[in-house]
Amino acid sequence: MASGSRATPTRSPSSARPAAPHQNHTQSSGGSTSRAGGGGGGAAGSAAATESVSKAVAQYTLDAGLHAVFEQSGASGRSFDYSQSLLAPPTPSSEQQIAAYLSRIQRGGHIQPFGCTLAVADDSSFRLLAFSENAADLLDLSPHHSVPSLDSSAAPPPVSLGADARLLFSPSSGVLLERAFAAREISLLNPLWIHSRVSSKPFYAILHRIDVGVVIDLEPARTEDPALSIAGAVQSQKLAVRAISRLQALPGGDVKLLCDTVVEHVRELTGYDRVMVYKFHDDEHGEVLAESRRGDLEPYLGLHYPATDIPQASRFLFRQNRVRMIADCHAAAVRVIQDPAMPQPLCLVGSTLRSPHGCHAQYMANMGSIASLVMAVIISSGGEDEHNMTRGVIPSAMKLWGLVVCHHTSPRCIPFPLRYACEFLMQAFGLQLNMELQLAHQLSEKHILRTQTLLCDMLLRDSPTGIVTQSPSIMDLVKCDGAALFYHGKYYPLGVTPTEAQIKDIIEWLTVCHGDSTGLSTDSLADAGYPGATALGDAVCGMAVAYITPSDYLFWFRSHTAKEIKWGGAKHHPEDKDDGQRMHPRSSFKAFLEVVKSRSLPWENAEMDAIHSLQLILRDSFRDAGEGTSNSKAIVNGQVQLGELELRGIDELSSVAREMVRLIETATVPIFAVDTYGCINGWNAKVAELTGLTVEEAMGKSLVKDLIFKESEEIVEKLLSQALKGEEGTNVEIKLKTFGSEQSKGPIFVIVNACSSRDYTKSIVGVCFVGQDITGQKVVMDKFVNIQGDYKAIVHNPNPLIPPIFASDENICCSEWNTAMEKLTGWSRGEVVGKLLVGEVFGNCCRLKGPDALTKFMIVLHNAIGGQDSEKSPFSFFDKNGKYVQALLTANTRSKMDGETIGAFCFLQIASPELQQAFEIQRQQEKKCYARMKELAYICQEIKNPLSGIRFTNSLLEMTDLKDDQRQFLETSAACEKQMSKIVKDASLQSIEDGSLVLEKGEFSLGNVMNAVVSQVMILLRERDLQLIRDIPDEIKEASAYGDQYRIQQVLSDFLLSMVRFAPTENGWVEIQVRPNVKQNSDGTETMLFLFNLPVLVRASPLTLSKICSVTPVGRPKKALD
């Protein structure tokens, strides 16, 4: 909240972190967060990021301390008292201790025994830098595995430091390693299928680069036929794609359902006994959100765990290596032997075989989990910058949201291809989850903004106490158990709150201890230092307070955290005894409850921003009400800014409009538009050329009835209906008729984007279609799908009408790569055919934006091979020269004549430069308009506060004894204030989006209207030394009428102001004349017409601007104002 001092330097974790279903020890910090002062808007986001980093750094210290205690207990022979260590006050860890801890985690020097590890120099020597002690045995190169021979050259090569690693494998395997080492992204080629030199034993080789070379993890394969291995990998991917399709078919807006579904599919895919979704909360603690388990296992659903249960170092490892398997926690670790010349132990961060830390292995054994598989759930923390993408910059704003954790009660090892399929599933889950979280965030923001708006309206209409006595109230602004307003010495409580005596005691404490701040938030009043916290009990633990004035306060209260926790699993029976020294999920949960005792859920940054915004609005309103004055300067400045903003915006929009018209007329893509009746009112040169129908002939024709084929009618009607409601459609294929000389060429196929056309009031007045001609591609595609004729001659035809085409076999390997693809990517057919499309071709050769793009491409490809065609999926990559290519991907099943599926055909559609430029201009203009609207909304909000002060002042003056002329001045002031309020309301974001103008009719005095109109130009008249002549009969001044008074004021004052601005200053004058005329209507009613003449002297000859308004005089039948 507004700038102030921090009450306490510590920040409390309002919850702790899950005793991770898959990582070790840890303790949660016991400090409470007390925030005083604060900022809003962008500052809040920056502060949140800084606070998150600070938490992580502090957590590293706690993790290192616990690690040291565990190591010391092992060295001394004492048992490690888990609960006591978890709850003990944290002791500072030295930098050396933290460095040793991180080294132990990342460079532990041991691996799991189900595979072996080699470290090889990344150069032509392939020199062994390190190897695990079991390498010789697994590769069948130890002496007892060798076959006796008199030929010394037939002896197996030794596994020794400095040896050529290629000699440990078959010659063909050596060639594969050489190719992999030459690749730019070596990990995208995983796994390699290689064989031991002596026994030809097959292995999965998983490679990754580190600081000193390349680490090769070797895992024994279960079959000796590489074709079967590839088929098994593809089958695993197909199962994952099937699970992804089910996830994507779920209804939106339900994160819990999404998590429940993913655990079921992962368990079905992997066969583990228990699968959980484990979420990291903002304060770093964790929670089991979803669980699928064997019926006889104890449930962990709903358990919360301290933050240190999964150390920060382990979280870092999960970001680097997203799938982590422990095959047997009881298995003895295997030592890694390395070159003594290496400056530090071998980095095993990316190794699939890295041995678990002893603390974690003990934790797993205690909970009866012998084997585990943990997969990271990564989401975007801030979205992708498309501008950076086009320049080849790949964003890295990714966040570890949580984990999907699998446990098994016996040793279990699943092959790498299946783990890779699981990683693929997790990437898709992360994408789906990210969309759900963004939707939830948008709904939350919308709720907060709506509540703030309603509360502000209450303040403008009623007394400040309305925000607690009416609905919605301040309790609806943020999640809380109670709220209160202390205003003018009176206490207005809502929900669970302290008593009046207690609230006065809290205010006294705030005044003494935090009097120099503008507010405070804490999740533990006890830890924040409030002496009376014990008396409040668990009902009130957390508090957020906003200072409105030195004697007026707003409060929000929260109860203790344990109240919010929902248990999904059975609690311990009273007779069961927990061993507090054992590391176990239930013990961690018990420790978590101790950590959060007398503490509420933390106040999130978005909630504090909402409180801060309301605080600023209330502070200004209370100050204006208290002073009884208004800030007229702010209003004048606001008017000037609004005027400048409007003129600047009009100039910019006019410039952009001219540029857009030029682009449309000269574009090499078909563009056409229709009105609200579906009739053509725009038809550019390209669509005229394609269809043979000139602009003159097309105008007025019905798009649906006259210009498209019957099979496209339903699609276009639906597209029009959605666009006229504001729902724009993209990538829709329609079939246009041809006319005249083009008729003999057959139909034209066009891919169109439909966008709503709006007028200056934001009302939808039609639909604009921007298309791309795909007739040539469509013909070619039909031939491919139906395998007609010599398709190879078509594929490799250099004709520019042939689109970029590539094909996949049933194993996702590239089988076709036509000339257009060679030109587009820079990679020749010989360089890509036979390679895996996912990972090698698109990934290593043609780089994609990131893992998410690779996942989406894999889904499209697998769906096509499985018989599910995909049309016009966005697909982008970098070509051989680093140029960013944006396209639409269509994938069709490729079949033999007998219907047997043999792969997929893929077609790319590339947007023309003109279309890309048009889209870019549209995006930039939308961005600029949004910025202008936000600026306009801010100015309007700032004007509302002084207007409220003017209204309040006028209401006070009305209660005084005024003379007639003074009362007239007051009425004029009130009329001008209401006119301005209406203008500000019209300029609000919601009114602009609604695109509507509301007339508020009522009785009013024409004399008051004219006084208000004239008063608005008097200052300018004096500045320009002009005379104003008023020719208004008394009968009009005294007449009463029915209509919208302030709209009439607005229109007339605009006209009069324009005349005053442009009247010559030398002997100049402006006149306003009003003439009445009664008109008899056919229905027997009468309407009085008023002719407003505004003559002005221009070069000695008067220029007259007239405006006719009709109103129904009071006392006669009322008619609407024209």
- Residues at the annotated binding site for phytochromobilin? 359
DSSP string, 86-148: HHSPP----HHHHHHHHHHHHS--EE-TTSEEEEE-SSTT-BEEEEETTHHHHTT-SGGGSPP
Which DSSP category does 218 fall into?
Answer: E
Of 348, 366, 350, 368, nearest in space to 358 by CA: 366
Residue 936 and residue 979: Cα distance in Å, rounded? 18
The dihedrals phi and psi of 944, each to the nearest 5 degrees, come to -60, -40
Residue 61 and residue 617: Cα distance in Å, rounded? 42
3-state secondary structure of 700: coil
Tokens of 286: 């964790």
Q: Note whether 400 and 377 are within 8 A (CB).
A: yes
**97: number of Cβ within 10 Å:** 15
The C-alpha angle 29, 35, 40, rounded to 5 degrees, equals 125
Residue 1036 and residue 1016: Cα distance in Å, rounded? 20
Residues 6+ apart with CB under 8 A from 974: 951, 954
Q: Angle between the 95-106 and 312-320 helix axes, to the nearest 10 degrees?
A: 40
Q: Angle between the 964-986 and 1006-1015 helix axes, to the nearest 10 degrees?
A: 80
β-bridge partners, 495: 482
Residue 603 and residue 543: Cα distance in Å, rounded? 9
Using the structure block, give the residue that is written with the tokens 């002719």: 1091
Residue type, 615: Q
The number of angstroms, rounded, from the C-alpha of 870 to the middle of its chain's C-alpha atoms is 25
Q: Note whether 886 and 908 are within 8 A (CB).
A: no
Q: Which helix (H) or strand (E) holds 1005?
A: strand 1002-1005
Cα-based distances in Å from 257 to 252, 491, 813: 9, 43, 35
Residue 447 and residue 428: Cα distance in Å, rounded? 29
SS (H, E, C) 503-571: HHHHHHHHHHHHCCCCEEEECCCCCCCCCCHHHHCCCCCEEEEEEEECCEEEEEEECCHHHHCCCCCCC
| Helix%, strand%, coil% for the chain, nearest 5 | 45, 25, 35
Residue 728 and residue 755: Cα distance in Å, rounded? 5
Cα-based distances in Å from 299 to 32, 42, 543: 31, 42, 34
Of 169, 363, 181, 404, nearest in space to 280 by CA: 404
Pairing between strand 552-558 and 671-675?
A: unpaired
Burial of 399 (0-12, 13-18, 19+ CB in 10 A): middle
Tokens of 87: 């709850």
Which DSSP category does 1041 fall into?
Answer: E
Pairing between strand 519-522 and 34-36?
A: antiparallel
Q: Tell me the binding residues.
A: 359
Residue 711 and residue 655: Cα distance in Å, rounded? 40
